[in-house]
Amino acid sequence: MSLGTVLSEFQSKATTVRQTDIGGGQVRVEIDLAGESSGRVPGQNIGTMTITAGSDATRPNPWSYTGTLLAKSGAVVRISGWGVGMRTGQGHQGRYRGAVCYSTDDPKLAEFNGMIAAVEFETDPATMLLKGIIYEWK
């Protein structure tokens, strides 16, 4: 499988962060995000990303995302995503990759229903910023 055209570029800022010790040297971090999305469906993103991080910074961290894209057209697009991430070695920054899928009731965006896309993004906890790209997965 290969990556196709860019569906979206996004940038979000953390609005709140919650941490829960889940034992075994692991912490669940829940981050509420808000930001902008450009591309085929531009608009405002709001959602929550959950990361399970261990004490060993060299091991991958699973993540999941549940959110909504409030499109400039007035459409509402629900987004779910999941994958893994790793620290980059530059401070606390991380690089994440995974898959996302969309769901919407807007008939003009019906092509997005059931679509699975590839996502990659980077985080910088020092600036509370997350930015990335979503690609069509062929």
Which pLDDT belongs to residue 54?
82
Question: What integer pLDDT is reported at residue 92 of this predicted model?
Answer: 80
> Which residues on adjacent β-strands are paired with residue 88?
none
Q: pTM of this prediction? A: 0.91
CATH topology of domain 3-137: Porin (2.40.160)
> Tens place of pLDDT for every residue, the chain, 138 residues?
567 899 999 999 999 999 999 998 899 999 999 999 999 999 999 999 999 988 777 788 999 999 999 999 999 999 999 999 998 878 788 999 999 999 999 999 999 998 899 999 999 989 999 999 999 987
Q: What is the pLDDT of residue 1?
A: 55
The pLDDT of residue 4: 84
Chain-centre distance for alpha carbon 13: 12
Q: How many residues does the chain have?
A: 138
Question: What pairs with residue 85 in β-bridges?
Answer: 61, 96
What are the CA-CA distances from residue 50 to residues 13, 34, 53, 78 (Å)? 14, 14, 10, 16
> Distance (Å, rounded) from C-alpha 56 to C-alpha 33?
25
- pLDDT of res. 2: 67
> In a 3-state reduction of DSSP, which class is residue 60?
coil
At residue 16, the pLDDT reads 96
The domain spans of the chain are: 3-137
